[in-house]
C-alpha cells in the first residue's frame, strides 16, 4: 500500500473498519451522522472511493452480498492492511494540527472592496446560516441519543466550532456598527 489516505478515503475506510457495508449503507451512515458537516463525500463519489480503496488492497468484497429492495448490493469490508492503514491515518489526523483555508478569511482579507452596507448584509446572512446550521447539528445529535461516544464527539466538535464562530461573528458585527 502506497501513499497517504485522503480524508474522504479515510472516512469511508473507517466506516468499513466499523463493520462491512455496501455503498448505500455508507451513504446512510454519512447522512445520519451528519458527516457532511466535515467531509466532502457526495453520494456519487462513494463508489469511486470504494474502487480506489479496493485497488489499493485496503478493502475487499465480503463473501456475501445483501439484497435490498430486490437489488443485490456488494458488501465491502476492510482488509488487515486496511485496518492498519486506517489506524495509522486516524491517529495522525487526531494528533497533527493542519492548516485550514476557510473562504471566510479570504473574504475578510478583501473587506475593503465590499461596500459597508453589503458587508453588513453578508455578515447578517452568515449569522443566519450559522444559526440554521447550529440548529440542524443539534437536532441530528438529539436524534441519536444512543450514538457511540466517538459519534457524539463529532457532533460536539462541530457544535463547538459553529458556536465559536457565532460568538466571533457577533463580536465582529458589534465593532462594525
Q: How far is it, in rounded angstroms, from Cα 109 to Cα 104?
A: 9
Which residues lie below 8 Å from residue 85, measured CB to CB, with a gap of 6+? 1, 5, 13, 58
Whether 1 is in a domain gets the answer no
- Alpha carbon of 103 to those of 4, 33, 100, 106, 163: distances in Å? 25, 25, 10, 5, 18
Per the structure, the complete domain to which residue 108 belongs is given by 103-175
Mark whether 88 and 128 lie in a shared domain: no
Mark whether 71 and 112 lie in a shared domain: no
CATH number at residue 109: 1.20.1280
Number of domains in the chain: 2
Q: What is the pLDDT along the chain (177 residues), one digit of tens a residue?
A: 457 999 999 999 999 999 999 999 999 999 888 888 788 898 889 999 999 999 999 999 997 666 555 566 899 999 999 999 999 999 999 999 988 889 999 999 999 999 999 999 999 999 999 999 999 999 999 999 999 999 999 999 999 999 999 999 999 999 855
Final residue before a domain boundary, out of 78, 95, 112: 95
Whether 61 is in a domain gets the answer yes
Whether 2 is in a domain gets the answer no
pLDDT at 1: 47
Amino acid at each position: 500500500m502506497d501513499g497517504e489516505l485522503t480524508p474522504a478515503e479515510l472516512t469511508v475506510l473507517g466506516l468499513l473498519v466499523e463493520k462491512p457495508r455496501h455503498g448505500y449503507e455508507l451513504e446512510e451512515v454519512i447522512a445520519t451522522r451528519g458527516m457532511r458537516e466535515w467531509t466532502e463525500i457526495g453520494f456519487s463519489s462513494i463508489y469511486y472511493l470504494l474502487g480506489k480503496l479496493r485497488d489499493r488492497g485496503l478493502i475487499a468484497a465480503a463473501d456475501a452480498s445483501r439484497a435490498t429492495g430486490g437489488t443485490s448490493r456488494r458488501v465491502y469490508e476492510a482488509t488487515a492492511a486496511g485496518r492498519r492503514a486506517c489506524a495509522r491515518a486516524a491517529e495522525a489526523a487526531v494528533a497533527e494540527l493542519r492548516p485550514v483555508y476557510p473562504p471566510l478569511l479570504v473574504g475578510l482579507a478583501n473587506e475593503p472592496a465590499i461596500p459597508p452596507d453589503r458587508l453588513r448584509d453578508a455578515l447578517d446572512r452568515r449569522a443566519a446560516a450559522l444559526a440554521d446550521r447550529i440548529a440542524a447539528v443539534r437536532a441530528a445529535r438529539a436524534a441519536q441519543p444512543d450514538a457511540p461516544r466517538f459519534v457524539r464527539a463529532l457532533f460536539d466538535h462541530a457544535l463547538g466550532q459553529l458556536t465559536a464562530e457565532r460568538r466571533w461573528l457577533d463580536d465582529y458585527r458589534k465593532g462594525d456598527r
